[in-house]
Each structure stands twice: as C-alpha cells, then as structure tokens.
Structure 1
Amino acid sequence: MSAALLPKPQMRGLLARRMKFHLLGAFLVSMGSAVLFKILVAEPRKRAYADFYRNYDPRKDFAAMKAAGVLESAPPK
C-alpha cells in the first residue's frame, strides 16, 4: 500500500534540469565576486597608485636612496 502513495521519481532529463540551475548559480556567483573584487580591491588600489604618483619625484627618491647607500652603482657623497 505505501508504495502506491509515493510519487515516481523523475529520471528523464534530471541532469539537464539540474545543470541549468547550477550553471545559472555559478554564473551569478562568479559575476558577483568579480564586481565585489573590482569595487573593494581594484578601485582603491588604482586610487592609491594615482595618489602616490601624483606627487612622486623620481629624482628626489633617487637622491634619498643614493644618500642612504642603497644603490651599489651610485656611491653616496
């Protein structure tokens, strides 16, 4: 009697139906991750580099490294 009460499981097309669901979910998660990475990591990093190079003077930096003795090819004076 109890076997007649249970519905038959769907076997035909089960993989295709589940694949659509999982592919859509994977696509949405990956796009969300990419957007969050761009907003939380890439843009602040880009701003930090722009701020650093806005006032960066390579000659002054070279002179400071030369005075500190960091560069072997340019002895300090």
Structure 2
Amino acid sequence: MASAVASGVKDVAAAVKDKVSSSTTGSGSSGSVPRPQLKNLTRTRIPRVAAVGVLLCAASGFGWKLLVTDRHKRAISDFYKNFDPERDYARMKASGVFKTIGQKERPEWLTEYESEIDKAIEALKQPE
C-alpha cells in the first residue's frame, strides 16, 4: 500500500512538473518564470486600490440614498399628505397636553379609541 501511495505521489509530481514546464516554455517565452517586482510595489498598486476604494464608496453612497434616504422622504411625504394639523391640535388640546389652554370635555371618539387600545394591549399581553 505504501508503494502504491508513493507511486501515486510520483505520478502527481510528474504531472505538475510537466504542467509547469509546459506553461513556462510556451510560445514566445524565454523558458523562465518572470521575476517578482521588489521595488515600488506599493507605488504601483496604489492607483488600482484607490480606484476600487472610490468605486466602493460611490456604490455604497448611492445604495444608501436609494435604500434609506429616498424611503424616508417618501414616508414623510405620505404622512403629510394625510395629516390634518387642526385635528391633531384639537386632539392634543382635548387630552391636556397644553397646560395653559383650558381643557374642553374629552370627545367621545377619543374615549372610545383609548378603550379599543386598552383592549388590544390586554389581548397582546395574554399568553396563547
């Protein structure tokens, strides 16, 4: 078994050696592996890394605008399309938010609404 493994390893090593020698001695090459760049490596990589950084920042900024800012603006505009400031003021005045303004009697709809809210809260508190 050990000899079978050893022969298998030799076969793989020979295949890798053939692959490397065929790729380095291809058409038009001098038969040697190109030398690594030892000087100014950072200087040559900075433009590419900077371009990737700028593109990544631009993409994330555009994504934030589309996914967060535009949705927020749309939600605010939808809120103010249906908002009645006079009704909101009357509700706050009736509930006693403004201490200096004399309170009127609570409207019936506000009392009914609060009782509905209390029932909903109690229903949520009860375990199933």
TM-score (norm 2): 0.50
Q: CA RMSD in A?
A: 2.0
Give the whole-Å Cα distance in 2 for the aligned partners of 1:25 and 1:40: 22
Sequence identity (%): 37
Q: Structure 1 residues 21 and 69, CA, compared in 2 at 3 Å: closer, same or farther?
A: same
Are residues 1:20 and 2:47 paired?
yes
1:23, distance to aligned residue in structure 2 (A): 0.8
d(CA) in 2 for partners of 1:59, 1:12: 73
Any unmatched runs of 5+ in structure 1? none
By how many angstroms is 1:17 displaced? 1.6
Q: Residues 46-61 of structure 1: matches in 2 within 5 Å?
A: 46-61=73-88
AA paired with 1:51? D
Higher relative contact order (CA 8 A, sep 6+): 1
TM-score by length of 1: 0.77
How many pairs are equivalent? Answer: 73
Matched residue SS, 2:103: coil
**Aligned residue in 2 for 1:31:** 58
Question: Which string of whole-angstrom CA distances, capped at 9 and with x for unpartnered residues, describes residues 4-38 of structure 1?
Answer: x8865423332222211221111111111111111
Q: Aligned partner of 1:68: which letter?
A: S
**Looking at CA atoms only, which structure, 1 or 2, has the larger radius of gyration?**
2
